[in-house]
């Protein structure tokens, strides 16, 4: 059984148990110092991943940040209010960012977290006079992800050109691989746009797409991006439907709703189609009916 699956299973059971009792208020103990041992692994071979950037997010801010050592380990210390939630994330160039929520009703003597990072998949980049396409394999191949944007929308540095571009395009080919993306916690808002808490998300498809300059700098775009992603083969949904689109925000560690996509059936394959305002991490997901929890 895979490490991501096992860790996510136990984490889900733990979170569910805590959320069932979230209505019971905890006494305010103030902010106390807590230390967590974070270890990051390459998910392909379970080797320690040196130099990964680790951040602890809480209360819409970064509580702590540093880099893992050569053994993939970082002991991160931060001020923590018992009973609240934080998100611990790990990221590295050429890898998919992963994260996990963390909670404790009182300060532990010892705590550890393990994160497993999936390798980003290089995308095939095709430049036309009017559009740029990022895909897997050959143009016209069936059941492959496709991203298309206007060529004029690229905001290239003055010292760069189109031939220096590279792309990554990573999707989840199974429900297991969805667990290798940032943890599915969405930021809930009310009708006025005010933040009301975090909610678990149930994902049907997820994608990471980005263009890079020759020095690894991410390229921004100014026009909408068309994304088409096949749903994982083990997806339970078998009907066409509209579904919210959520953008991952690295500064908070949360997914924020930004538009709506549509799932359509092409032959026997279900495809998620969506138009998004920028490149990055996007997920097609429904909010959980279990309710929200405050960070």
Q: Tell me the CATH number at 278.
A: 2.60.220
Q: How confident is the model at residue 233 (pLDDT cuts 50, 70, 90)?
A: confident
Q: Are residues 111 and 139 in the same domain?
A: no
Cα–Cα distances in angstroms (integers) from residue 110 to residues 32, 35, 70, 151, 154, in the given order: 14, 7, 22, 51, 47
Q: Are residues 21 and 93 in the same domain?
A: yes
- 3-state SS class at 168: strand
Range(s) of the domain holding residue 80: 3-117
Residues β-bridged to residue 38 = 74, 113
The CATH number of whichever domain residue 86 belongs to comes to 2.60.40.10
pTM: 0.85
DSSP H helices in 162-251: 175-178
* Residue 51 shares a structural domain with residue 138: no
- Give 185's pLDDT tier (boundaries 50, 70, 90): very high
| pLDDT over 70 percentage in the chain | 86
Verify that 7 and 98 share a domain, yes or no. yes
Kindly state whether residues 112 and 169 are assigned to the same domain. Answer: no
What is the number of residues in the chain? 295
User: Do 149 and 280 belong to one domain?
Assistant: yes
Identify the band that residue 194 occupies on the pLDDT scale cut at 50, 70 and 90: confident
Which residues, 6+ apart, have CB-to-CB distance to 50 below 8 Å?
Answer: 68, 69, 70, 71, 72
Residues 81 and 199 in one domain: no
For the cut 80, the answer to whether the pLDDT of residue 19 exceeds it is: no
Domain count, the chain: 2
Q: Pull the structure tokens for residue 236.
A: 């339970």
How many distinct helices (H) and strands (E) make up the chain?
A: 2, 20
Q: Residue written as tokens 């339970």?
A: 236
């Amino acid at each position: 059984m895979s490490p991501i699956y096992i860790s996510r299973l136990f984490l889900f059971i733990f979170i569910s148990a805590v959320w069932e009792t979230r209505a019971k208020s905890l006494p305010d103990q103030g902010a106390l110092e807590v230390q967590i041992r974070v270890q990051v692994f390459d998910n392909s071979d379970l080797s320690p991943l040196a130099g990964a950037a680790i951040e602890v997010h809480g209360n819409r801010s970064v509580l702590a940040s540093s880099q893992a050592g050569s053994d993939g380990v970082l002991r991160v210390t931060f001020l923590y209010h018992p009973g609240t939630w934080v998100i611990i994330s790990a990221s590295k160039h050429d890898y998919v960012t992963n994260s996990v929520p963390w909670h404790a009703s009182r300060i532990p003597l010892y705590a550890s977290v393990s994160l497993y990072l999936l390798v980003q998949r290089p995308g095939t980049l095709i430049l036309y006079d009017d559009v740029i396409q990022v895909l897997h394999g050959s143009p016209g191949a069936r059941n492959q992800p496709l991203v298309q944007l206007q060529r004029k929308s690229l905001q290239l540095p003055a010292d760069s050109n189109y031939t220096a571009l590279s792309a990554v395009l990573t999707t989840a080919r199974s429900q297991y691989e969805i667990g290798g993306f940032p943890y599915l916690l969405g930021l809930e808002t009310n009708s006025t746009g005010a933040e009301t808490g975090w909610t678990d998300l149930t994902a049907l498809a997820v994608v990471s797409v980005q263009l890079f300059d020759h020095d690894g700098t991410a390229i921004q775009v100014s026009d909408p991006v068309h994304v088409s992603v096949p749903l994982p083969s083990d997806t339970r949904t078998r009907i066409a439907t509209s579904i919210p689109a959520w953008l991952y925000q690295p500064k908070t560690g949360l997914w924020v709703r930004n538009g709506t996509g549509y799932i359509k059936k092409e032959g026997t394959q279900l495809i998620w189609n969506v138009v998004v305002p920028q490149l990055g991490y996007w997920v097609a997901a429904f909010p959980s009916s279990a309710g929200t929890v405050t960070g």
